[in-house]
Amino acid sequence: MKKDWAYLTSMTRGKSIRIERVGIEGEDIAIEGAFDLPPLARLEAEDQVFVAVFVKSHGSIKQMEKHFGISYPTVKSRLNRISEKLDFVEVETAPGSREEILEQLQRGEISVDEAVAALEKGGNDE
């Protein structure tokens, strides 16, 4: 049987849903009202799995590469895409971080040699 959350996200086809009744399992208690799903629960099922694996791997991009068989830029791209959907938290990239250096390289703001030098200086966060 499919997991309830996977069934719910496939059933709604990406449309916004609202919970109107919440019951406490094993108790004769229910709360009625209008409840929005938490932001992580609003993600598509495959993105929820991706986030769960990322958390279970303690944020290791190297482990994500191995688990999903994808490259570093693909992991970063997917994380960036998911993070855009999670606008409830603002996170700034630290200047000189590995992410910032690679983004500068991708935008053509620095050369490969400059990126390598910057990474060797300490931009080696994961």
One domain, residues 56 and 43: yes
Q: Which residue has the higher pLDDT, 121 or 3?
A: 121
pLDDT at 1: 38
Query: Which residue intervals of 41-94 are DSSP H helices?
Result: 45-56, 61-68, 72-85
One domain, residues 52 and 81: yes
Q: What is the pTM of this model?
A: 0.58
Domain CATH for 33: 1.10.10.10
One domain, residues 118 and 81: no
One domain, residues 15 and 41: yes
**Overall domain count for the chain:** 2
One domain, residues 113 and 52: no
One domain, residues 100 and 83: no
One domain, residues 48 and 28: yes
Sequence-separated (6 or more) residues with CB below 8 Å from residue 70: 64, 78
Which of 45-49, 87-91, 94-98 is least confident? 87-91
Instruction: Residue 65: give the domain boundaries.
Output: 4-91
Whether 2 shows a pLDDT value over 60: the answer reads no
One domain, residues 124 and 79: no
pLDDT at 35: 85
pLDDT at 62: 92
Cβ-based burial of 43 (10 A; exposed 0-12, middle 13-18, buried ≥19): buried
